[in-house]
């Protein structure tokens, strides 16, 4: 078949989909370009690994440095290694809207690989990669209920007003107040990811509506593409369902028994579930031993029935597992300063979910340098999220941060960046770590709240406090048109068995971050408006509780925090402070015990352990960069003695001539009669001649004898000639 390209206009750039050129052994392979950005995506479906009882889809977003005409910055390793955090976040971005569009129960291995082959460095390629992954699946023959489209939306300045734009450039995102990624099908929005700067809810809703218009066009283009290139259907393998186990549970577990599965804590609920599981295991012991059914099949069937019962109780009676109303937040407790040595610490607890957040302050030089395919930046605020297995009562090996950990840390980071003070006002590097000590849902939102408290305790002058809440949804038969209920502050089982996980963070002024995933086919703007309004009410309530603990940032930093002092010097004097080969700045840091960071505009930031060492470094730099003025007095060192006078170094690197006539009021026959090499001498700057040379006087600082006359500064004799210059 002749290769055909499918194109459309997307915000002034050409979106193009094509196949048949690359990777023809792949089940689905496409190349999608947007302007000069080109992403290749492959989709493969395999068999089933033994013991698999979940959908093991793998998504990898690969950054290729050559795509941006760039060689990796490391001197020793040039090959791409572990994916950057941005690459991990884009992998999650692709996974989240695609995974729910496979049939429930599929257990085949599926792998999606998205390679960025060319990057125009104007528009971030993550959404293009998502479109490419969807297009590859559409023609692969897999049971994928797509396609999916995605766009990025920005809120940028246009004169005196702000406007929403599709696929903003890096510069527009940096200068604007919104970076919103929206993914969805032709019917509905299915995923939202946003970073914003206190943007009101109504503007967010406008952006979502605007994005879905473009998503529909992208999905229509993929449908055209799919109609021509789709391969024969590939039959999926579904997790086996035991009819015997299903019948056994339905006959043995009554509605009343399921309604009793409730409690304020996860432990209470689990204990009641385990009692039913034990009853089933005893009742059907013979069938289990005969391998007609297994305990696992019984438990899985029971769990499915309990989830359905929970959903029915919420829809019909607004009854939740822990007895809360549908708009009620779990009990909140906050405390700060619980760790003695860290610069800031706080514990935020909502229900059973606990987040211990710790703030560390460091010098500007401690900032993180990020070297990726499409950007080289310096991060002065870093937020890390850790989710150890004990937080949910499990045992697992620790293997470093998971993709989930990275994603939740990024969400908290985006939430807090808009309220941080500027570098000029607070030049510290800030590192916050959220340790999840216990979890029953919404741990990422607890980390946002706990980190706000920790920053305030550390004395970071944040503009306003930030809180976060997770909203849920339960719909009848997975269709909101048949009825739905929105839940505030969802816990673990409501998240897992519900139809939406909608995380919203922000201040009193507006939204700072969004993250939404849904499992229903259609979610209208009206439903999202209702969820955002309820989330706003919940944020206000949480902020009130937080401010009862610490109403404003501490005015003083911890005594263990480093002291930072800053000063401004002329940019042309930076080389004076650094010295030849860094000799001068190394001497200052070693002798004063400080760290020194110098910006290109002449901002000098000194990080010291105490005031004394900081002041010593400041004075040293002041002397180095001081611009002498006529009339200034100094105490200098005699560095050279000549017949006509002495040269005195009155500032580091600066010396001037004290003429023999300016050594004393009385006549001096020989310079050595007054000073010798190495002497300390008080001098006054009398003149800076047209060649920039300094003429000094010592005698004017001595008592003037009666009748002594001052004949002014004599003309400076020429410096003695040095040895002849050699020519090469």
pLDDT in tens, 461-499: 999 999 999 999 999 988 888 899 999 999 999 998 999
Highest mean pLDDT among 343-347, 368-372, 662-666: 343-347
* Residue-wise burial string across 82-100, b where 16 or more C-beta atoms lie within 10 A, e elsewhere: ebbbbbbbbbbbbbbbbeb
Q: How many whole angstroms separate alpha carbon 671 and alpha carbon 657? A: 12
Is residue 380 within 8 A of residue 370, CB to CB? The reply is: no
Question: Are residues 220 and 272 located together in one domain of the fold?
Answer: no
- Evaluate whether residue 484 is within a structural domain: yes
> Cβ atoms within 10 A of the Cβ of 249, count?
24
Q: Which spans in 230-349 are helix H?
A: 243-252, 255-259, 266-283, 285-289, 295-317
Please tell me whether residues 488 and 378 are part of one structural domain.
yes
Q: How does pLDDT run across 11-62, given as a tens digit for each residue? A: 999 999 999 889 889 999 999 999 999 999 999 999 999 888 889 999 999 9
Phi (first) and psi of residue 594, to 5 degrees: -130, 170
**Nearest of 168, 182, 479, 439 to residue 315 by alpha carbon:** 479
**From CA 384, how far away is CA 434, in angstroms rounded?**
6
Count other C-beta atoms under 10 Å from residue 148's C-beta.
27
Report the distance separating Cα 274 and Cα 294, nearest Å.
16
Strands 429-438 and 381-386: parallel
Same domain, residue pair 167 and 257: no
Q: Is residue 483 a part of any domain in this protein?
A: yes
Check which CATH number belongs to the domain holding 461 and give it: 3.30.230.70
The domain boundary, picked from 317, 351, 366, lies at 317
**What integer is the mean pLDDT of 165-177?**
94
Task: Say whether pLDDT at 720 is over 60.
Answer: no
**Which 3-state string (H, E, C) describes 634-703?**
EEEEEEEEECCEEEEEEECCEEEEEEHHHCCCCCCCCHHHCCCCCCEEEEEEEEECCCCCEEEECHHHCC
Tell me how far CA of residue 62 lies from CA of 39, 89, 524, 555, 671, in angstroms.
10, 11, 33, 45, 75
Both tokens of 303, joined, read 């769990």
Examine the domain organization and report whether 638 and 620 are in the same domain: no
- By percentage, how much of the chain surpasses pLDDT 70? 97
Write down which residue in 255, 287, 317 finishes a domain. 317
Same domain, yes or no, for 254 and 285?
yes
Q: Which pLDDT band, with edges at 50, 70 and 90, does 609 fall under?
A: confident
Specify whether the CB–CB gap between 281 and 293 falls below 8 A.
no
pLDDT score of 727: 37
Task: Classify residue 714: in a domain, yes or no.
Answer: no
Domain boundary among 206, 229, 252: 229
Average pLDDT over residues 340-363: 96
Q: Is the domain of 353 the same as that of 379?
A: yes
Q: Tell me, yes or no, whether 256 and 204 share the same domain.
A: no
* Mean pLDDT for the stretch of residues 541-554: 97
Structural domain range at position 608 = 563-625
Query: CA-CA distance, 719 to 597, in Å (whole number)?
Result: 38
Cα torsion for 553, 555, 558, 563, to the nearest 10°?
Answer: 120
In a domain, 70, yes or no: yes
Indicate the range of 129-143, 276-290, 364-378 predicted with least confidence: 364-378
Give SS3 for 314.
helix
pLDDT band (50, 70, 90) for residue 70: confident
Domain presence at residue 211: yes
Are residues 619 and 522 both part of a single domain? no
Residue 325 lies in a domain: no
CA distance 528 to 206: 11
Q: Residue 646 is part of a domain; what is its CATH number?
A: 2.40.50.140
- pLDDT for the residue 728: 31
323 domain residue, yes or no: no
Please list the residues that pair with 40 across neighbouring strands. 31, 115
Q: Does an H or E element contain 492, and which?
A: helix 492-497
Same domain, 310 and 378: no
> At what angle are helices 295-317 and 266-283 packed, to 10 degrees?
130
**How many CA atoms, within 13 angstroms, populate the side-chain half-sphere of residue 536?**
16
563 bridge partner residues: 608
Mean of pLDDT over the chain: 91
596 & 641 share domain: no
All residues at 6 or more sequence positions from 668 whose CB lies less than 8 Å from its CB, including other chains? 660, 661, 674
Distance CA 270, CA 306 (A): 12
Among 192, 218, 200, smallest CA distance to 155 is for: 200
pLDDT value at residue 710 = 64
**Residue 289: CB partners within 8 Å, gap ≥ 6?**
none
Collect all residues with Cβ–Cβ distance below 8 Å to 331 and sequence separation of at least 6: 350, 351
| pLDDT category of residue 625 using cuts at 50, 70 and 90 | confident
When divided into structural domains, the chain yields a total of: 5
Task: Let me know whether 376 and 406 are in one domain.
Answer: yes
- 338 CB contacts (<8 Å, ≥6 apart)? 345, 346, 347, 356
19 contacts 29 by C-beta, under 8 angstroms: yes
How is residue 36 annotated by DSSP?
T
Is residue 306 in some structural domain? yes
pTM, 2 dp = 0.85
Averaged over 536-544, what is the pLDDT? 96
Q: CA-CA distances (angstroms) from residue 57 to 86, 107, 197, 465?
A: 20, 9, 34, 38
Instruction: Mark whether 147 and 284 lie in a shared domain.
Output: no
Sign, CA torsion 341/343/349/352: negative
Give me 463's structure tokens: 């503009």
For residue range 380-415, list pLDDT tens digits in order.
Answer: 999 999 999 999 999 999 988 999 999 999 999 999
Q: How many residues comprise the chain?
A: 728
Residue 340: CB atoms within 10 Å? 8
Tell me if 206 sits within 8 A of 114, measured CB to CB.
Answer: no
């Amino acid at each position: 078949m002749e290769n055909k390209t499918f194109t459309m206009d997307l915000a002034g750039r050409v979106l193009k989909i094509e196949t048949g050129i690359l990777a023809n052994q792949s089940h689905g392979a496409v190349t999608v370009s947007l302007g000069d950005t080109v992403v290749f995506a492959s989709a493969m479906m395999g068999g089933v690994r033994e013991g698999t009882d979940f959908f093991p889809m793998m998504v990898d977003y690969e950054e290729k440095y050559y795509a941006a005409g760039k060689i990796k910055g490391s001197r020793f390793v040039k090959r791409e290694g572990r994916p950057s955090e941005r690459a991990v976040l884009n992998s999650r971005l692709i996974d989240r809207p695609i995974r729910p569009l496979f049939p429930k129960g599929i257990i085949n291995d599926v792998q999606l690989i998205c390679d960025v082959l060319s990057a125009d460095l104007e528009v971030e390629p993550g959404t293009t990669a998502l479109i490419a992954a969807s297009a590859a699946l559409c023609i692969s023959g897999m049971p994928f209920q797509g396609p999916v489209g995605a766009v990025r939306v920005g809120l940028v300045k246009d004169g005196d007003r702000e406007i929403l734009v599709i696929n903003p450039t890096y510069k527009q995102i940096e200068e604007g107040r919104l970076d919103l990624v929206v993914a969805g099908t032709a019917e509905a929005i299915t995923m939202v990811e946003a970073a914003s700067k206190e943007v009101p809810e109504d503007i967010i809703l406008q952006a979502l509506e605007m994005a879905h218009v473009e998503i529909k066009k992208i999905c229509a283009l993929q449908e055209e593409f799919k109609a021509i290139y789709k391969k024969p259907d590939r039959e999926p393998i579904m997790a086996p369902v035991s009819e015997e186990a299903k019948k056994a549970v339905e006959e043995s577990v009554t509605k009343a028994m399921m309604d009793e599965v409730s409690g304020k804590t996860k432990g209470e609920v689990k204990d009641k579930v385990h009692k039913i599981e034990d009853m089933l295991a005893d009742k059907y012991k013979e069938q289990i031993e005969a391998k007609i059914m297994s305990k696992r099949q019984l438990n899985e069937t029971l769990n499915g029935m309990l989830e359905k019962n929970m959903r029915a109780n919420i829809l019909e009676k607004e009854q939740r597992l822990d007895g809360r109303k549908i708009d009620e937040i779990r009990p909140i407790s906050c405390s700060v300063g619980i760790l003695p040595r860290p610069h800031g610490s706080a514990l935020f607890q909502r229900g059973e979910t606990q987040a211990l957040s710790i703030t560390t302050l460091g010098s500007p030089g401690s900032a993180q340098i990020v070297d990726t395919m499409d950007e080289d930046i310096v991060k002065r605020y870093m937020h890390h999220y850790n989710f150890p297995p004990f937080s949910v009562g499990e045992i697992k090996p620790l293997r470093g941060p998971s993709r989930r950990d990275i994603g939740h840390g990024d969400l908290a980071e985006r939430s807090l960046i808009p309220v941080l003070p500027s570098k000029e006002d607070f030049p510290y590097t800030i590192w916050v770590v959220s340790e999840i000590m216990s979890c029953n849902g919404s741990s990422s939102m607890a980390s946002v709240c706990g980190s706000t408290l920790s920053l305030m305790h550390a004395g970071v002058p944040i503009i306003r406090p930030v809180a976060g809440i997770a909203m849920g949804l339960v719909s009848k038969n997975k269709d909101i048109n048949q009825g739905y209920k929105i839940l505030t502050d969802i816990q673990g089982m409501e998240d897992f068995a519900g139809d939406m996980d909608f995380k919203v963070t922000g201040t009193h002024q507006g939204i700072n971050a969004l993250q939404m995933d849904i499992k229903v086919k259609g979610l209208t703007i009206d439903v999202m408006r209702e969820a955002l309004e309820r989330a706003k009410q919940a944020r206000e309530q949480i902020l009130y509780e937080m401010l009862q603990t610490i109403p404003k940032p501490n005015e003083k930093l911890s005594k263990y925090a480093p002291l930072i002092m800053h000063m401004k010097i002329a940019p042309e004097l930076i080389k004076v402070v650094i010295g030849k080969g860094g000799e001068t700045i190394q001497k200052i840091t070693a002798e004063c015990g400080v760290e020194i960071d110098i910006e290109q505009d002449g901002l000098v930031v000194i990080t010291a352990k105490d005031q004394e060492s900081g002041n010593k470094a400041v004075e040293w730099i002041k002397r180095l960069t001081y611009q002498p003025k006529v009339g200034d007095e100094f105490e200098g060192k005699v560095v050279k003695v000549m017949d006509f006078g002495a040269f005195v170094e009155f500032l580091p690197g600066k010396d001037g001539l004290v003429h023999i006539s300016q050594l004393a009021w009385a006549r001096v026959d020989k310079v050595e009669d007054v000073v010798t090499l190495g002497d300390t001498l008080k001098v006054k700057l009398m003149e800076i001649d047209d060649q920039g040379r300094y003429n000094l006087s010592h005698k004017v600082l001595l008592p003037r004898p009666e009748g002594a006359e001052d004949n002014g500064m004599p003309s400076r004799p020429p410096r003695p000639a040095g040895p002849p210059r050699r020519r090469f």
